[in-house]
Amino acid sequence: MPEAPPVTIALTPLMSMAIDVRRTHERCTKRTGGYGAHMPGPLEGFTVVEACQMVAGPWAATLCADLGADVVKVEQPKGGDRMRLLGHRIGNIGALWANVNRGKRSVVFDLQQPEGLALLGELVTRADVFIQNFRPGVAERLGIDEPALRALNPALVYVSVSGFGDTGPYIDQKSYDYVVQALSGMVALQAQPGGEPALIRNIVVDKVTAMAAVQSMLAALLVRERTGKGQHIRLSMIDMAVSFLWPDGMMQHTFLGDDGRVTPGLHMADNYLVRRTADSYITLIATSNSQFPGLCAALGRPEWLTDPRFLTLADREANAAALSALMTDEIARRPGRELVDVLHAHDVPCALVTPIDQVHLDPQVVHNGTLVEHERPWVGTVREPVPPVHFSLTPSALGRHAPKLDEHTDEVLRELGHDDESIADLRARGVVGQRR
């Protein structure tokens, strides 16, 4: 959303209503129409207001929707979230955008107009959580920073997602997943021995940041249930990337003592290899004392068990390159499915590399019901994952479709107490609704 000069949100009569910290079931969202119009789950009855673009903030809100929350996405009048048209799409709905924004309602408020800000304020007074991912300083200039919204709703959980944090040498730079991957060490770690650094070909930093945002938000809601107090949550993509990478990725940079007590060892990543079979690709690691005999038996190389280079785990680590070369040569001579079957028969963990267009056919994925194929408005048949966490008491389910821009503005305004005449006037004056 574009930046704007400071604007103070006026407290309207609608916004001065009492804020019930423990939202009752009766105040649950009045969602109507469409697939998954009512979505049960542990967050049913909670409302999340999202003012975000791109991936990290929006997907955090979608994860809340998967858990049953009513998520209202506030978008800008000219085009909305700019991710809408990125990549593979039908009309003006992109597949990536739809995956990241399912389960929400879309409203369009012009936050550069005082009345648009006041409408956002009305939403916030009824909300449990507000999520924003503006660059540092923009929320303050818009008048929707944490102190401003806290004045309207003291119990609000306010979540700020950023690329680099609120201060520091990078805050004026744009942050994207690939930028943070490069800075965090992830790209360097992807280099094979002697090879070049490589990006993880997935927006992993955005998504792990989204997951952490939801984890933190749920903890803050629990604190609020105990104390009645909301709080401000701040998290940055670079902090999340380094934290996520650290346990295994930085294992050789954790113990800093130079007193000789550290015994060097292989990096976990050194064993993360994909090997070519006669007709496919396979991944396996079997160097432990319990698995190495099975590997030797499966590959028909019992002499490896008595080879002085490979007698113990320490020996195999010291001679990892030689063992890896032998394994690669042996594996390359065998058909992949035959190899997997014999390795499994000897209890060696392994898997063939599944092509992207065949993941939905994997027997375990099918058995688990990980993916569903169903009809969605405007785009027809889609394939998408169901919420992956299963609750025994409060089961979650896929909710409504990813919304069209401005699809629910009138609906939400009616819930806030505005009549049709008032809504028409707001649209006529450009306070709400999309503009070409």
426 three-state secondary structure? helix
Catalytic residue among 70, 145, 206, 406: 206
240 residue type, one letter: M
Stretch (H or E) spanning 104? strand 104-108
| DSSP states of 118-132 | HHHHHHHHT-SEEEE
Radius of gyration of the chain (CA): 26
Is residue 338 within 8 A of residue 50, CB to CB? The reply is no
Q: Which of 61, 160, 162, 51 is nearest to 102 (CA)?
A: 61
Q: Could you give the CA distance from residue 278 to residue 219 in angstroms, rounded to a whole number?
A: 50
Residue 425 annotated in active site: no
Distance CA 185, CA 243 (A): 11
SS3 content of the chain, % helix, strand, coil (to 5): 40, 15, 45
**How far, CA to CA in Å, does 2 sit from each of 53, 78, 142, 357, 433?**
12, 10, 9, 38, 16
Q: List active site positions.
A: 206
